[in-house]
């Protein structure tokens, strides 16, 4: 088996020693090439090249942004040979590692590597569904409005040298909420063939559960959503403090099932259209995707083979 290990050396919880141990362990079982990313988009380029060259497995050691790049690199490539696309494995190396957590991969890189080696020995793999917005694939979540504003604010602070921590996300979320709480609701959403729902402030789309993590605490917007189901949507119709705080408490509950008169929530949908009265920020797997007025989200079943 030929495998390519894509490592983001700048990821939050990676280290040179840990990367060496990981590479040595994998190289004992597979023919391994190692790529250390050097620029934004490098992981996607490496994954596209590995796909064209017929790799059997791509292992990502990095955060959710690196995973997203690799997935998009793999799936943007037209495969013209009889060899199928590679499978994907993830060794967590970021802050939240939402995709890995939803797959059941241990947070500790050594434990995750051990689990991967066991899966390879047992030839254990499975197919999962992904989400797609325009031509961009996402693995666990996307959003329009508030959460995309938070992502942009975190990226802005990170660009000024701030270290990414749960506190940084909490601080950014508080600032974005206070800045937009009094804004007019600008969103209209339509899930599958249901009637449109208007006057919404933000839409959060999930392809798995949890939607994200706050530190080690899972945050659930659509706990029914799995990689084997369709997408979930969680859209806020009120930004009043008591309403938002109630939903936050619901999302952090171990038995989460968010509900409320001002909340539009659906699970297992095939497609979702979000229309904005003016262009709003969009985020995909925790990375900014720009500003758009009409956004179509689609669930794509059995899009990716994963090992681990």
Positive/negative CA dihedral, 209, 235, 162, 133:
positive
Rounded to whole angstroms, the Cα distance separating 274 from 276 reads 7
pLDDT at position 95: 85
Domains present along the chain, CATH in parentheses: 2-123 (3.40.50.10330), 138-301 (2.60.200.40)
Task: Count the alpha carbons within 13 Å of 139 in the hemisphere toward its beta carbon.
Answer: 30
> Which pair of structure tokens corresponds to residue 267?
């699970």
pLDDT in tens, the chain (308 residues): 999 999 998 877 777 878 888 899 999 999 999 999 999 999 999 999 999 999 999 999 999 999 999 999 999 866 555 557 899 999 999 888 999 999 999 999 999 999 999 999 999 999 999 999 988 999 999 999 999 999 999 999 988 888 888 889 999 999 999 999 899 999 999 999 999 999 999 999 999 999 999 888 999 999 999 999 999 999 999 999 999 999 999 999 988 789 999 999 999 999 999 999 999 999 999 999 999 999 999 999 999 999 98
pLDDT score for 79: 55
Alpha-carbon Rg for the chain, nearest whole angstrom, is: 19
Q: What is the pTM of this model?
A: 0.93
- What are phi and psi for residue 150, nearest 5 degrees? -65, -45
CA 282 to chain centre: 13
Comparing C-alpha atoms, which of 121, 119, 95 is closest to residue 107?
95
Query: What confidence score (pLDDT) does residue 83 get?
Result: 57
């Amino acid at each position: 088996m030929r495998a390519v290990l894509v490592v983001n050396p700048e990821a939050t919880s990676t280290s040179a020693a840990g990367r060496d141990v990981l590479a040595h362990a994998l190289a004992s079982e597979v023919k391994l090439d190692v790529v250390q990313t050097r620029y934004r988009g490098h992981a996607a380029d490496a994954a596209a090249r590995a796909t064209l060259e017929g790799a059997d497995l791509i292992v990502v050691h990095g955060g959710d942004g690196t995973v997203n790049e690799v997935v998009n690199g793999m799936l943007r490539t037209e495969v013209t040979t009889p060899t199928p696309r590679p499978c994907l494995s993830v060794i967590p190396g970021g802050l939240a590692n939402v995709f890995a957590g939803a797959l059941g991969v241990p947070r500790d890189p050594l434990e995750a590597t051990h689990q991967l080696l066991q899966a390879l020995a047992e030839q254990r793999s499975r197919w999962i569904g992904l989400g797609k917005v325009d031509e961009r694939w996402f693995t666990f979540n996307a959003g329009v409005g508030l959460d995309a504003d938070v992502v942009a604010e975190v990226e802005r602070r990170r660009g000024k040298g701030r270290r990414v921590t749960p506190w940084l996300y909490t601080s950014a979320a508080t600032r974005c909420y206070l800045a937009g709480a009094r804004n007019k609701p600008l969103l209209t959403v339509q899930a599958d063939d249901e009637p449109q729902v208007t006057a919404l402030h933000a839409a959060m789309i999930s392809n798995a559960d949890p939607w994200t993590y706050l530190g080690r605490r899972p945050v659930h917007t659509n706990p029914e959503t799995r990689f084997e189901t369709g997408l979930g949507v969680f859209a806020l119709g009120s930004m009043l403090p008591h309403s938002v705080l109630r939903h936050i408490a619901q999302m952090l509950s171990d038995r989460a099932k968010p509900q409320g008169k001002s909340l539009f929530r659906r699970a297992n949908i095939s497609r979702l259209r979000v229309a904005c009265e003016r262009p709003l920020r969009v985020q995909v797997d925790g990375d900014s995707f720009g500003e758009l007025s009409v956004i179509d989200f689609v669930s794509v079943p059995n899009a990716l083979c994963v090992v681990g």
